Amino acid sequence: MELLFVHGALVGDGAWWWQPTATLLEARTGVRSRAVALPSCGETPSGRPEGGLVEDAAALRAALDAADGEVVVVAHSYGGTVVAEAGNHPAVAHLVLVSSYLPDVGLSQGAIMGGETDPVAVTDGGDGTVTVDGYDAASFGARFLQDADEETQRAAWSRVTAQSVAAFATPTTAAGWQGVDTTYLVCGQDRSTSLGLQRGYAARASRTVELPTGHHPFTTRPDLVVDVLEGLVSR
């Protein structure tokens, strides 16, 4: 059994965000996990955003192709749209969606975000990318990681990055979550993704667990996330 983590939009260094959960999960279960590098977020040899949703989905499929045995995929926020576009893969034993999406075919990330009551503001970089608009380390931390200490909030802010517009504008051509056993983690104190949107997508999952956390529980409350994952990887 292996675990793959697919991070959300407008950030890089997925391994950093996932590390608190990865460390605790391995200590408790012996299961190792890794983060999928998303080209649209600049996790590329050039260090620049490349491609979009299609390329991010291809990166996930390549990681699944290389897996040795069954895989639990944990997708955060935009990561759920990547999972959808990647389509069904025989290695996937379970999906865990964290404050994320289970979109129908033909729905883009931009359209999903358009359903938010208080969407995150982004600005056009003028080079085929967008980035968050109007934030600094303190305000970003207050919205996205209010349950983390200031040091973690600053470290998180340093990993905010530009992302290809194509990640937001491209409609999905598949719904890789369909037909897969799926757990949705609703983040009950999330100030980024509204509870209404979370619960709407959670209704499509096989089961739902609600956590008393902000938008990034795998960073701020790894104990709660591992409590859920333990049961899945030990099956």
Q: What confidence tens digit (pLDDT) does each residue in 79-134 have?
A: 999 999 999 999 999 999 999 999 999 999 999 998 898 899 999 999 999 999 99
* Per-residue confidence band for 234, with pLDDT thresholds at 50, 70 and 90: confident
Average pLDDT across the chain, whole number: 97
Q: Structure tokens of 74?
A: 């944990």
> Nearest-CA neighbor of 208 among 234, 187, 191, 179?
187
Mean pLDDT of the region 214-235: 95
Enter the tokens of residue 54.
């299609």
Give the model's pLDDT for residue 173: 98
- In this predicted model, what pLDDT tens digit does every residue of 16-26 receive, in sequence order? 999 999 999 99
Distance linking the first and last C-alpha atoms of the chain: 9
pLDDT category at 35 given cuts 50, 70, 90 is very high
What are the structural domains, with CATH classification, of the chain?
2-233 (3.40.50.1820)
Q: For 165, phi and psi rounded to 5 degrees? A: -55, -35
Q: What pLDDT shows up at residue 154?
A: 98
pLDDT at residue number 235: 72
